[in-house]
Amino acid sequence: MIRHTVAFRLKHAPGSATERDFLQAACELAKIQGVQKFECLRQTSAKNPFTFGLSMEFADADAYAFYSDHPDHTAFVQQRWIPEVTEFIELDYVPHAP
C-alpha cells in the first residue's frame, strides 16, 4: 500500500465558489483506475500554511504510476493545480514496522 497525500493552499478566498469548484474538480481524480480511499480534507493545524489536503491509496507502485501518468491527472495538474494552488507539499507513505 502506498498512501499519496498532498497538503495545499489555494489562491481563492476561503469559502468562495472558485474554491469549491477547484475542490470538486480535485474529487474527480478519485475516478481514475487504481485510486483507493480517496479523501478530500481540510487542514486545521496552525503550525503550517496549508488549508486543504487530498489523500489516496494505491495497491503498489504500478497503480501509483498509472494514476500519475493518467491524462485526467496530468490535465488537472496543468489546467487547475498549477494556476490555482499557491503552495503545497506532497508526502507519500508506506507502512513501517520498526
What residue ranges bind a second copy (CB under 8 A)?
A: 2-3, 7, 19-20, 23-24, 26-27, 39-45, 47-48, 50, 52-53, 55, 89-98
**Closer residue to a second copy (CB): 28 or 72:** 28
CB of 96 to a second copy, least distance (A): 4
CB of 92 to a second copy, least distance (A): 4
Query: Any idea what the Cα angle at residue 97 is, between residues 93 and 98, rounded to 5°?
Result: 115
* DSSP code for 11: S
**Closer residue to a second copy (CB): 71 or 95:** 95
- What's the burial of 51, exposed, middle or buried (CB within 10 Å: 0-12/13-18/19+)? middle
**Closer residue to a second copy (CB): 2 or 70:** 2
Q: What's the CA gap between 90 and 95, in Å, rounded?
A: 17
* DSSP code for 47: T
CB of 33 to a second copy, least distance (A): 21
